[in-house]
Amino acid sequence: MQRIAHLIGGEPASSSSARVGPVFNPATGEQTAELELASKSTVDSAITKAATAFGEWSARTPINRARVLFRYKELLSANMDELAVLVSREHGKTIDDAKGSITRGIEIVEFACGIPQLLKGEFSSNVGTGVDSYNLRQPLGVCAGITPFNFPAMVPLWMFPVALACGNTFVLKPSEKTPSCPLRMVELAHEAGVPKDVLQVVNGDKEAVDTLLKDDRVKAVSFVGSTPIAEYIYHTGSAHNKRVQALGGAKNHMIVMPDADVSQVTDALIGSAFGSAGERCMAISVAVCVGDDTADSVRDSVAKAASNLNVGPYTDSDSDFGPLSNKAHMDKVLSYIDKGVEEGANLVADGRNLKLQGYENGYFVGPCVFDNVKPDMTIYKEEIFGPVLGIVRQDSYADALKLVDEHELGNGASLFTNDGGVSRHFIEQSKIGMVGINVPIPVPVAYHSFGGWKRSLFGDHHMHGPEGIRFYTKLKTATVAWPGGKKTGPEFSIPTLS
């Protein structure tokens, strides 16, 4: 059986005595590899190399770093097919979905290639007689990224290309469930010209994470995952004087107004609720329908469309979505569905007990649709992270917006309507970090920034885009005067603009 090691100094770092964890193919339920889990000393070795490499890498000109990233972008595109298979084999998502996520990651690399422009500061001439002032953004040092199982290509690419472009070095700790694609992407980065000590990969569990959070040489930590872990990452990292951006869970709503096109709403809900088996932090899991007529139409249309979806392995090009990523998560999703029935919601599309010939041991759950979901139900309050859509009925737009705003998670939300006034109100007044109008998954493009509000984000900075540059740099302001002016003697009051 394949044994997957770390990548430290550009070389596989392995130990026969290391703890290991299993890696599975979710479509078959078979173990495909065992992954070495890093000890504290292994992580320390990676941090040491990254810290030593920081001086030379940060001293390179921004255009030099950009040229490396341009080569990296080309290698990612050239190896798209290989990377997609690595994603699909360990996560379960379809090849097309995997390629889409890789493409979104490549767009972040394209953004980071503009680093000479992005690092330009501000300059003010003659702030005082013969005195100029300007600022510059400088790298932090060693940064770390802790990434989730559901996007093993895209989320790491949200992090390390921006960090490297800014002049930092980086230690990546990918999910232990989907390690192969991140490792391959870092190998390609080295091939593109990123020095091998500048970018490291350590695989592991809490021991590796805690080492990164507590080591004084790590200056910043980026994280994407569940809300409880995001909160832990934020408080532990901050307690050790690190800059932290920790993105947590989501319960994304779509408000459907009576004037919305039901066929358009149906397509949007089917793709956003069930794509990637619902294992997306931007999945729409709640449809908030304004009025019973709206809810009835949406329920009937979505339930019919869901019944026609093809659930299957990534090797089947006709699959609309694949299995959940692991058995423990499948069991958790099934328990949520059972709980929804128990608490009184109407299960109008039931994806339980889905068995595929030849894949009986796979982690498949078909599309599930609940109607008459109430705000006090578990399936409404908690993130399910599976192919489960709940329909909530509200009497008015005001009631619908209040419902959205009162949820503790504020990652993303959409509104489907033809009313410009309602749309403008929703954009300005909703307490959500990312919003869309007639767009089912309002994910910002690479040159804008990604992040939610409330308990969906811990920290002050969103990811990639302008916020990513701010997160991976620190601001320095210079005030400069050159000899040659009239000597006035010492001044004992604070300088002013007069």
SS3 62: helix
Residue type, 91: H
The residues facing 169 across adjacent strands are 142
Alpha carbon distance 173, 218 (integer Å): 13
At 296-315, the pLDDT tens digits run 999 999 999 999 999 999 99
pLDDT in tens, 222-231: 999 999 999 9
Query: What is the pLDDT confidence band of residue 495, given thresholds at 50, 70 and 90?
Result: confident
Q: How far apart are CA 245 and CA 291, in angstroms?
A: 39
Q: What is the pLDDT of residue 108?
A: 98
pLDDT of residue 456: 97
Provide the pLDDT for residue 249.
96
pLDDT tens by residue, 368-413: 999 999 999 999 999 999 999 999 999 999 999 999 999 999 999 9
- The pLDDT assigned to 498 comes to 60
Quick check: helix, strand or coil at residue 395?
Answer: coil
Nearest-angstrom CA–CA distance, 74 and 415: 37
Please give the average per-residue pLDDT across 239-259, as a whole number: 98
The residue from 113, 143, 281, 289 that is catalytic is 281
Q: How far apart, in whole angstroms, are the C-alpha atoms of residue 429 and residue 498? A: 42
pLDDT reported for residue 493 = 80
Least confident span in 15-24, 68-77, 419-428: 15-24
Band of pLDDT at residue 483, cut at 50, 70 and 90: confident
pLDDT > 90? residue 431: yes
CA dist., res. 72 & res. 192, Å (int): 5
pLDDT tens digits, 255-270: 999 999 999 999 999 9
pLDDT confidence of residue 485: 60
Question: CA dist 85 to 81, 147, 345, Å?
Answer: 6, 19, 38
What is the mean pLDDT of the segment spanning 119-132?
A: 94
What token pair was written down for 80?
């798209």
CB of 286 closer than 8 Å to CB of 390: yes
* Cα 79 from Cα 465, distance rounded (Å): 25
Average pLDDT, the chain: 96
Domains and CATH numbers, the chain: 2-248+456-478 (3.40.605.10), 252-437 (3.40.309.10)
First to last CA, the chain: 75
- Token code pair at residue 243: 């800059």
Summarised one tens digit per residue, pLDDT across range 271-301 is 999 999 999 999 999 999 999 999 999 999 9
> Strand 131-139 vs strand 123-128: parallel, antiparallel, or unpaired?
antiparallel
Here the contacts of 10-15 (C-beta below 8 Å, separation 24 or greater) are: 10/190, 10/196, 10/197, 11/196, 13/42, 13/45, 15/39, 15/42
- Written as six digits, the tokens of 350 are 């039931």
pLDDT digits over 7-48, tens only? 999 999 998 889 999 999 999 999 999 999 999 999 999 999
Q: What H or E segment, with its residue span, contains residue 426?
A: helix 420-429
Q: With CA atoms as reference, report the closest residue to 7 among 168, 181, 215, 244.
A: 181
How does residue 486 score in pLDDT terms, banded at 50, 70 and 90? low
281 noted as active-site residue: yes
How far is Cα 108 from Cα 104, in angstroms, rounded to an integer?
Answer: 7
What gap in Å lies between CA 224 and CA 411, rounded to an integer? 12
What's the confidence (pLDDT) of residue 491?
Answer: 76
Query: Is the pLDDT assigned to residue 497 strictly greater than 70?
Result: no
What pLDDT score was predicted for residue 16? 83
The mean per-residue pLDDT over the stretch 66-80 comes to: 98
Query: Which element (helix H / strand E) includes 410?
Result: strand 409-410
User: What was the pLDDT predicted at 492?
Assistant: 77
* The pLDDT value given to residue 1: 86
Question: Which helix (DSSP H) or strand (DSSP E) does residue 369 occupy?
Answer: strand 368-371
What's the pLDDT score for residue 134? Answer: 97
C-alpha to C-alpha distance for 329 and 384, rounded to whole angstroms: 9
pLDDT of residue 490: 79
Q: Using one digit for the tens of pLDDT, what is the confidence trace for 327-341?
A: 999 999 999 999 999
In angstroms, the CA 355 to CA 366 distance is 9
DSSP lists the bridge partners of residue 453 as: 410
Integer-rounded Cα Rg, in Å, for the chain is: 25
Q: Which residues contact 296 (CB under 8 A, 6 or more apart)?
A: none
Dist CA 181 CA 222 (whole Å)? 19
The pLDDT-based confidence of 487 (bands split at 50, 70, 90) is: low
- Alpha-carbon 237 to chain mean position: 18
